[in-house]
């Protein structure tokens, strides 16, 4: 049994405006409260659109809700003429705990490279927040049985130049791309195979202490019906949840898997 507190993070993607966000956050908090949620058993986070952050912050801080929150992306630039971008400092000012970097939708639709994702992870850490760094293979790689070397090559690049202390403090989300939003879930063994290989690689790269501390999530069609088996795996320390996190009662059940 590890002493890593699981992180159950709901990635809302481009869903829920700030008015809707307020309702979902309140319902989520009520569902958790009703079930006597204990944040020491599993930490709950909502990863929301930029336009929802201030509303979520006001609710979480004002009503002392047992939730953390964060953003779905960040600019590598500190400030200046970068129209449409949001800096790490701006997110830190909103008291974000987490910033997702390298989600497969950013990699696919915005051609984000491992090198850029590494830069993003660094600016998030420098601003005092925790990056959730996404890695994962596409279906052709999985069919070729190459998922472990493929994902480890991503891990090497996204963690480049980070210290053991930094790596130990962050979150890596293993999200097989073929399982995102498709209803296809990796089997618990599939999730363990890759998450275990990631942890072993972290030990090689920056030492065992960091490997023991880093939290590794599984993501891909997680629901209340499959979370228990996924969380039973030794090297799975939580979940990055897309679609199911939009339903506060369903997401609460996922958070309360323990």
Query: Is 103 labeled as catalytic in the residue annotation?
Result: yes
Q: Which of 152, 222, 230, 236 binds ligand PEP (CB under 6 A)?
A: 222
Closer residue to ligand PEP (CB): 52 or 164? 52
Build a one-symbol-per-residue string for 45-84: x at contacts with ligand PEP by CB under 6 A, - elsewhere: ----------------------------------------
Cβ atoms 39, 66 nearer than 8 A: yes
E strand segments, the chain: 7-11, 43-47, 68-71, 98-101, 130-135, 171-174, 215-219, 238-241
Cβ atoms 237, 192 nearer than 8 A: no
Q: What's the token pair of residue 169?
A: 């403090």
Residue 220 makes contact with ligand PEP by CB under 6 A = yes
Build a one-symbol-per-residue string for 95-134: x at contacts with ligand PEP by CB under 6 A, - elsewhere: ----------------------------------------
Min dist CB 212 to ligand PEP, Å, is 25
Residue 243 makes contact with ligand PEP by CB under 6 A = yes
Judging by beta carbons within 10 Å of its beta carbon (0-12, 13-18, 19+), is residue 155 exposed, middle or buried? buried
Strands 215-219 and 98-101: what pairing? unpaired
Q: Which of 24, 123, 129, 180 binds ligand PEP (CB under 6 A)?
A: 180
Judging by beta carbons within 10 Å of its beta carbon (0-12, 13-18, 19+), is residue 161 exposed, middle or buried? exposed
Min dist CB 217 to ligand PEP, Å, is 9
Cβ atoms 33, 64 nearer than 8 A: no
CB atoms within 10 A of CB 222: 30
Residue 219 makes contact with ligand PEP by CB under 6 A = yes
Closer residue to ligand PEP (CB): 198 or 210? 198
| Residues binding ligand PEP (CB under 6 A) | 11, 175, 180-181, 219-222, 240-244
Residues making up the binding site for substrate:
11-13, 181, 221, 242-243
The set of catalytic residues is: 103, 175
């Amino acid at each position: 049994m590890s002493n890593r507190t699981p992180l159950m993070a709901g990635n809302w993607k481009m869903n829920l405006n700030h008015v809707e966000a307020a309702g979902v956050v309140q319902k989520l908090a009520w569902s958790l409260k009703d079930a006597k949620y204990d944040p020491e058993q599993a930490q709950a986070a909502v990863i929301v659109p930029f336009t929802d952050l201030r509303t979520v912050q006001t609710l979480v801080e004002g009503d002392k809700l047992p939730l953390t929150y964060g953003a779905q992306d960040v600019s590598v630039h500190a400030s200046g003429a970068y129209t449409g971008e949001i800096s790490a400092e701006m997110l830190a000012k909103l008291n974000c705990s987490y910033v997702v970097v390298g989600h497969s939708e950013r990699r696919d639709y915005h051609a984000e490279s491992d090198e850029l994702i590494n830069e993003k992870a660094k600016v998030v850490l420098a601003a005092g927040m925790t990056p959730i760094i996404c890695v994962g293979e596409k279906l052709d790689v999985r069919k070729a049985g190459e998922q472990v070397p493929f994902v480890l090559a991503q891990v090497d690049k996204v963690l480049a130049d980070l210290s053991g202390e930094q790596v130990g403090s962050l979150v890596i989300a293993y999200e097989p791309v073929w399982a995102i939003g498709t209803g296809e879930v990796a089997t618990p063994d599939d999730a363990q195979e890759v998450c275990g290989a990631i942890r072993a690689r972290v030990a090689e790269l920056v030492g065992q202490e960091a490997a023991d501390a880093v939290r590794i999530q599984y993501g891909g069609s997680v629901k209340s019906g499959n979370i228990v088996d996924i969380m039973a795996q030794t090297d799975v320390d939580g979940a990055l949840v897309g679609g199911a996190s939009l339903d506060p009662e369903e997401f609460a059940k996922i958070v309360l898997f323990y």
